[in-house]
Structure 1
Amino acid sequence: MTAGTTEDLWHKVRTALERNGDRFAELVVSAPDAQVMVTGDWSVADTAAHVAGIAAYYPSLLRPGDVPTPFPDLADRMRSVDVDRVAELNHHLMREITERDPRVLAERLRRHVGEILRMSEDLDPDRTVTWLGSSRVTVAGLLAHLVNELMIHGWDIARAVGAPWPMSPGDAGLFLDLFVTGLLRNGFGSLLDTGEPPDPRRVAVEFRSPHTRPVTLVLRDGKVTVEEPGARADVRLRFDPVTLNLMLFGRVSQVRAALTGKVVVTGRRPWLLSAFLRKVRLPSNSYPAPAVAGEP
């Protein structure tokens, strides 16, 4: 096991993927009506198709020589996409996936999650694979990304159909701990390209929660690096991982997250967080807005 993904974290992300895959599949199948709108454009069935499509794609990233991509017509778009064009990529992906039967989609999802777990079992969790925008993501980070997709879109469906959807902070913390930091360490390709001139200021943001390893992310001249905690921080962010992820993906407002005390911003220059998030941002606008308003 190389530095970066501990044996404990590798076990946790694998367990979280299996558990949340099963939970999501059960949620989809139990929805009273698969045509209930989850977002402005996506129904329960559409949302399930989106998540199942991601799960179908990941085996080809883990074993590119053995498993062909299920979406060859989108290969060029996936390699060159940036964060502002993920919505467009999702639109094309949804056109490729024609199945909308919730039971079929739930079964496909379970099958693909099983394939991902089997294929990754003997891989080095810190080996990198080529992801969107020609970025480099670790195997452990790839699994953590899918865990987050299951949790966020499960939240969307549950809100729409009035079902419970408890989310584990430990599972949610894997997104920052393994996916985000792994991507920034290994290269984010064109994914964070904004077309804006790089800001020469150094902005260091320290992230801490009881469920993740402390880390400092530093933005300077348009580049983002990962530093050990203790680096001189401009912003110190204490957070509940569930709330942070929902906020980063546009499900919970920054004001609401702050008012609940689940995301607390301090530090010597806390106002620089906005400049940091303009560069280090997630595709919160790449999915249609939730059809059911509300905060957790």
Structure 2
Amino acid sequence: MGTVTRFDAVAEHEKTRGALAAVIPRLVGLLRDVPDPDAASGVPVWTVGDVGAHLAAVYLAYCSLVSGDEAVEWDSVLPPGDLPFVERITAMNATSIGLFGGDDRARPGDVVAERGEAFLRATEGLAPDTPVAVPWYGQETTLTLAVVTGLMLSESLVHGLDIARGAGLPWTIGPDEASLVLGQSMPTMMTLALDTARARGVSIAFDLVIKGGPRLAVVVDDGTMTVTRDAAPRAYDCRITAAPTAFLLVSFRRTPVWKAMARGRMRAGGRRPWLATRLGELIATP
């Protein structure tokens, strides 16, 4: 069933902080080099400028969670009621691109640079399991600092690609960066984003093996999902082996799964390899 390699949570969190610190100046430079903010981006219906405004809002929001100097009136921006996950995030995304206007919208790189530095400064030395309340994921949702840091890294990498594709500028997502996202934030976010209606009556155990990265046991059982890192050996229905960057982009719907497989970046095995495509179908995305 393969070898299970234990990971050091503290060391991996520090690596994720280092990766975030390295990607921020790259992202700031990308935002400042955009020739036409009105150009179409890699996100349907959003322009390059919209993605930049969204990133500025993301950095402001995450910084506000950990810094007493950043206050956000959440009641004015959160969607009303306790909406399902996808509806809630869709509403928040729509709100985010309108939070900044004028000079702030014209210079999202300045916001990202300032808030990114403030986030790293405010969280320096904190344990990776430090609880952080994240109201836009749910009124009572609390994540760990490790997950939040991984989410900031994923937002930076994936939306950086969206901007680069629209602006015709270079952008890379390295395998080490992608592996950190998949290990730090993916287990939590997969369970939050489970489409419980589609998962009802489904029973599948996936062995998700990221080359050079984390190994996750993803078990769907009648409308619930558990994602366990370094799980004890067990029988699986389907094994998915993937290069980290490929799996990250497939997960965020930036690359079709068939293309990743055709390029040899993902492959399915195990007793029932045909179930590999079901994993993506069971995870809802805004």
Q: TM-score, normalising length from structure 2?
A: 0.85
**Please, which of 141, 145, 150 is the counterpart of residue 139 of structure 1?**
145
Are 2:275 and 1:272 aligned? Answer: yes
Aligned to 1:58: 62
**Please, which of 45, 49, 52 is the counterpart of residue 48 of structure 1?**
52
Query: Helix, strand or coil for the counterpart of 2:240?
Result: strand
Conserved 8 A contact 2:199-2:220: no
1:177 deviates by: 0.3
Query: Helix, strand or coil for the counterpart of 1:109?
Result: helix
Greater Cα shift, 98-107 or 149-158 = 98-107
Greater Cα shift, 211-220 or 84-93 = 84-93
Aligned to 2:3: none
Identify unmatched segments of 5+ residues in structure 1. Answer: 287-296
Conserved 8 A contact 1:135-1:183: no
C-alpha separation in 1, matches of 2:22 and 2:127:
22
Q: TM-score, normalising length from structure 1?
A: 0.83
Aligned to 1:105: 108
Identity of aligned residues (%): 25
1:84-233 aligned within 5 A? 84-99=87-102, 104-131=107-134, 132-133=137-138, 134-183=140-189, 188=192, 191-192=193-194, 194=196, 196=197, 198-227=199-228, 228=231, 230-233=233-236
Identify unmatched segments of 5+ residues in structure 2. Answer: 1-5
How many residues are aligned here?
275
- Report the CA distance shift for 1:84/1:248 in structure 2 as closer, same or farther (over 3 A): farther
Deviations 1:185-218 (A, max 9, x none): xx73xx5354x27533431111112332212111
Conserved 8 A contact 1:237-1:266: yes
Conserved 8 A contact 2:157-2:173: yes
Query: Helix, strand or coil for the counterpart of 1:60?
Result: helix
Conserved 8 A contact 1:13-1:174: yes
C-alpha separation in 1, matches of 2:218 and 2:263:
24
Deviations 1:227-254 (A, max 9, x none): 3052211111111111111111111111
Query: Helix, strand or coil for the counterpart of 1:75?
Result: coil
Conserved 8 A contact 1:169-1:242: yes
- What amino acid is aligned across from residue 154 of structure 1 in structure 2? G
Query: Helix, strand or coil for the counterpart of 1:217?
Result: strand
C-alpha separation in 2, matches of 1:11 and 1:78:
36
Are 2:263 and 1:257 aligned? Answer: no
